[in-house]
Chains A and B, each alone.
Chain A
Amino acid sequence: MPDVAPFRQYQLETAYDELLLSPNTPRPHYRLLAERLRELPPDELARRQQAADLAFLNQGITFTVYGRDEGTERIFPYDLLPRILTAKEWDTIERGLAQRVTALNLFLRDIYHEETILKAGIVPRELVYSCRHFSRQMRGVSVPRDRYISIVGTDLIRLPSGQFAVLEDNLRVPSGVSYMLANRLVMKRVFPQLFASYGVRSIDHYGQALLATLRSLAPQGRSDPTIVLLTPGVFNSAYYEHTFLARQMGVELVEGRDLIVHDNVVYMRTTAGLRRVDVIYRRVDDEFIDPLAFRHDSMLGVAGLLNAYRAGNVALANALGTGVADDKAIYAYVPAMIKFYLDQDPILPNVETFLLSDDRQRQHVLHNLDSLVVKAVGESGGYDMLIGPHSTLEQRAQFRDRIIANPRNYIAQPTLALSKAPCFIDGQLESRHVDLRPYILFGDQISIVPGGLTRVALRRGSLVVNSSQGGGSKDTWVLY
C-alpha cells in the first residue's frame, strides 16, 4: 500500500511478508489492523509507543547486558504492532511442537538408559558422547514421570513459502516468557479497542500452567509439594524474569546459598527453620548446579543436589543433561528421531543443516562460507556465530580456522530469509525480520499457551533477533 501514511516506507521483498499478500493488499487477518493504522492521526502511534516504553521502564522490565561495568540494566525494546497468527497456522505449530517435544523427551530417556537409537545406528554414538552437554552423571538415573524437558522454548522461523520451520530447540533453561506476558499486558493498555475487536486467545494463565507442570513432577507421597525457583542471583541477565515468574506462581525465589542438602533431602533455610523442598524450577545451568558433581568453583549451586536428585527426593525442571538434545549437531537428527520413536513424519520441518565433522559437508561449507550461517553447537543467545553474506573477509578467515581446528563444534545452515513483519520505526512503518518462540510445558500432558515471543531484528536488514544483539520483541496474537 504505497503512498498512504504511515505505509510510505513499507516495501515488499523476497522474504515472506506477514502483513502483505501483494503490494496493495494486506492478508485477510491483518486487514483490520492496517485500516486502523491508516485512520490514526499521524502522531498517535508515536504517542502510544512512548506510553508503552514508559510502562516497561516504570515496571523495571529490564535485562542485563554483560561486559559493562556493574551490569547495565536496559529495557528490552518493544515494538507496538502485534504479530498475528491465524487459528489454522497455530494448529500446525501446536501439533508440530507437541510431536517434536515428545520425541526429544523420548530421545533423552533413551540415551541415558537403553540407547536403542544409538544401537540402531540412527544417531551416531560419537556425536552424542562428544557433546559438551552430555552428562555421564545421568546414566541410568530415572527422573520423575520420565519428564526430562518440562519447560521448552522452541525457535521457529517462517520460510519464504509461508511454512514454519524449527531453527533451534532450547531444552535447558529457555528464557523470555516474562516478556511474552509483559508485552500482552502493555498491548492491552495501549490498543484496547483494536485488541477487543480481533478475538485474541488468552495467554494469562501461563503462570498457573507452569505451576501445575512443576507440581506434577513432585516426588511420590509429597501431596502438597514445596516448589521453588532457583536463580543464580541479581547479576544474572534474566533476574527480572525469575522474580516475575516466582511472583506469578506464588513460590519462593531462592539462591543456591538458601538451600541445604542433608541425608539426600533438600531443605531451604527459613526464619522458621529448615523447610523441605520437593520441586526446583532451576534457572541455573547444569555445570553450576552442584559443586560436588560439576564445576567445583561454582558459588551458585547446592552441594549434594545431584545425589538428592538421584535418590528421587527432589525433582528438577528441567532434568540435568538435557543440553545434549539441543546441541545444534544433534538437531539435524530430530526428524529421524520423530520417525524412529513415533513412526510419524515431522509436522514442522528442520532447516537444512551441514555437519562439519563430515569431510564432504565440511569441504562444501568451507567453499561457501560467504553464503552460509555458521553456528557453534552448544551456544545460545547469538554468540559465536557467522552470518556469511554480512561478514568480512577477515571474519570468514577466522571461522575457517576455528572450523578446521574443531569441526565438531560447528554446524552450518543456508542463510534464510526470515519472514518480515511491520514495525514502527522512526515514525514510519518498516518491515523487519522476525522469528517466533512459543513456550511448551510438559507435565501431565503437553500444553502450549497460544502465542509466544516474537523477536524482531530491529536493525535494518539484520537477521539476528537475540536481545543481546540488538533485537526487540512484539506481542503475538493467536486468533480464535
Chain B
Amino acid sequence: MLSRVADSLYWIGRYLERTEHTARLLDVNLALMLDQTPAAAERRWERMQTYLAWQYDGLPQTYALVQALTFDVTNSGSLVSCIGAARENARQVREQISSEMWEQLNRVYLQVKRTTMEQLWHEPHEFLHNVLKEGIHLFQGITTATLSHGECWHWLRLGQFIERANATAILLDVHFAEPRGAADAQANYLDWVGLLKSCTAFEAYCNVYTADIRPERIAEFLLLNAESPRSVRFAADQIAVSIQAIAANTLGRRGDRVKRLAGRLQANLDYGQVDEIMADGLSGYLTSIQQQCQQIHTNVYQTFISYPVETALV
C-alpha cells in the first residue's frame, strides 16, 4: 500500500474518533450542567478544556464555548473541523475504501454543514447524539461490513485506537486530579457517572460492578478491562493486532521496533494491577501511557510512512 494512502486512512480513523469523543463529552457535560450550580458548571468547562488540550480565549460563556467546539472553523479541534478533515482524507483515497463508506461519511459531513448554531443550541442532544455519534457508529459498522479486513482496515483501526487510548488516558488523568470534598456526596456521584458516560461505559460498568460507584473500580474498568471496547487495554490490544498485521507485509526486520513498542504497551496493561497503579500514582501511569502512544505514532511514521529513502533501499 502507498504510504500516502496509509497516512490518509490513519487520519480518517483518528479524526472520526476525535469527533465522536468531543461530541460525546459535550453531550454528557451539557446534560450534567442542568443539574449543577453555575459555579460548578464553570469548573466543568475548565475541565472540558483540559480534556481536549484546548484553551478558549474569549469569555467562558456556555453559548460561546459550545459554538467554538462545534461550528468554529478556525478551531482545529471543533467538530466541523474534525469531520471535515476526516472527509478530506477520505476523498483522497476514495478508490481504496468502499463506496458505502464514502457515502456515509459524506452524509454526516453534509448534515454537520447544514446544521446551524441555533438548531444545535435548542436541541443539543439531537445533533450531538443522533447526527454525530450515530452517524459515526454507522460508518464504523459499514466499514466492518463492506471493507476487506486487510491492510486498509488495519490502518483505519490503528488511527482509531491510538486516538482512543490517548484520549481516555487524558480523561482519567484530569478527572482523578480534581479535588473533591467528601461533603457533597450527591455532586461527586454525578461527577463519576459523568466520567463513565463520557466513555459510553456506564451500563457496562454496572454489569461488572453493579451501580456501586467507586473511583478505583472506575479506574480499573476504564484502564484494565479486557472486554470493554472503551478501555485503554482494549485499545492497546487492537493497536498491537493492527501493527502486527501491517508489519507482516514489510520485508526484513523493519517493523521490529514498532512491534516491540506496541507489545510493551499491551503487556503493561494486560498484566497491570489497579491497586499497585494507584499506590504508585495514577497520574504518572497515565502520563506514561500517553507518552507510549506518542512513541508508537512517531515510530509508525518513521517505519512505514515517512522513512528516509536510504533505510528502505535493500
Contacts and interface: CB of A to CB of B under 8 A. Distances in A.
Contacts of B305: 269, 271
A468 B254 CA distance: 48
Interface string B1-43: 1111010000000000000000000000000000000000000
A271 B96 CA distance: 15
Given A234-B91, A260-B309, A268 B250 contact: no
B4 A274 contact: no
A257 B249 CA distance: 22
A243 B2 contact: no
A255 B304 CA distance: 17
A262 B313 contact: yes
A253 B95 CA distance: 9
B245 to A, nearest CB: 11
A255 B312 contact: no
Nearest to A228: B2
Given A60-B99, A271-B304, A274-B312, A258 B2 contact: yes
A221 interface: no
A91 to B, nearest CB: 37
A243 B95 contact: yes
Given A60-B99, A243-B95, A253-B95, A271 B312 contact: no
Contacts of A271: 1-3, 6, 151, 246, 249-250, 304-305
Contacts of B94: 60, 243
A233 B91 CA distance: 10
Contacts of A246: 95
A268 B3 CA distance: 9
A257 B7 CA distance: 13
A150 B151 CA distance: 34
Nearest to A252: B2
B183 interface: no
A270 B249 CA distance: 10
A253 to B, nearest CB: 6
A253 B4 CA distance: 11
A273 B314 contact: yes
A269 B3 CA distance: 6
For this complex, into which size category does the number of interface residues on chain B fall?
20 to 34
Query: Which label, helix, strand, loop or mixed, suits the secondary structure of the B interface?
Result: helix
A272 interface: yes
A254 interface: yes
B251 interface: yes
B92 interface: yes
A216 to B, nearest CB: 25
A262 B309 contact: yes
Given A243-B95, A247-B95, A258-B2, A272 B309 contact: no
A252 B92 CA distance: 13
B309 A274 contact: yes
Given A253-B95, A262-B309, A273 B250 contact: yes
Contacts of B246: 271
Interface in B76-106: 91-92, 94-95, 99, 102
A243 B151 CA distance: 19
Nearest to B306: A269
Interface string A292-321: 000000000000000000000000000000
B106 to A, nearest CB: 9
Interface string A257-281: 1101010000111111110000000
A270 B99 contact: no
Given A255-B4, A272-B250, 9 more contacts: A59-B99, A258-B3, A269-B312, A271-B2, A271-B151, A271-B246, A271-B305, A273-B251, A274-B313
18 contacts: A60-B99, A247-B95, A253-B95, A262-B309, A269-B4, A269-B305, A269-B307, A269-B312, A271-B1, A271-B2, A271-B6, A271-B151, A272-B249, A273-B250, A273-B251, A273-B312, A274-B312, A274-B313
Interface of B: 1-4, 6, 91-92, 94-95, 99, 102, 151, 246, 249-251, 254, 304-305, 307, 309, 312-314
The 3 tightest CB contacts between A and B, nearest first, are: A243-B95, A271-B304, A269-B3
